[in-house]
């Protein structure tokens, strides 16, 4: 059985992506003196956005017959 995305799921997803992004950014900037680049924070942020879009799409199609 497939469940629609709940607010709790969205909050957990955003919190996990935010924490992981911060961890990657901290390690990337403390391991050497270089500016922060998009490949430091981009993948976790884009993965979070993509996952949220899929969750919202699934929520909209939950009540429709397949």
Tens digits of residue pLDDT in 12-50: 888 888 888 888 778 877 777 677 777 777 888 888 888
Confidence bin at 59 (pLDDT 50/70/90): confident
Q: What angle do CA 5, 9, 12 make, to 5 degrees?
A: 160
34-54 burial by CB neighbour count: b if 16+ within 10 A, else e?
eeeeeebbeebeeebeebbee
Q: What angle do CA 15, 20, 52 make, to 5 degrees?
A: 50
Mean pLDDT score, 43-59: 83
Say if residues 56 and 26 touch (Cβ distance below 8 Å). Answer: no
Q: State the pLDDT at residue 20.
A: 85
Mean pLDDT score, 62-66: 63
Confidence bin at 1 (pLDDT 50/70/90): very low
């Amino acid at each position: 059985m497939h469940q629609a995305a709940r607010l709790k799921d969205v909050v957990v997803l955003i919190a996990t992506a935010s924490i992981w992004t911060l961890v990657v950014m901290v390690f990337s900037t403390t391991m050497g003196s270089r500016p922060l680049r998009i490949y430091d924070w981009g993948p976790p942020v884009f993965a979070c956005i993509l996952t949220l879009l899929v969750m919202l799409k699934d929520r909209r199609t939950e009540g429709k017959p397949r």
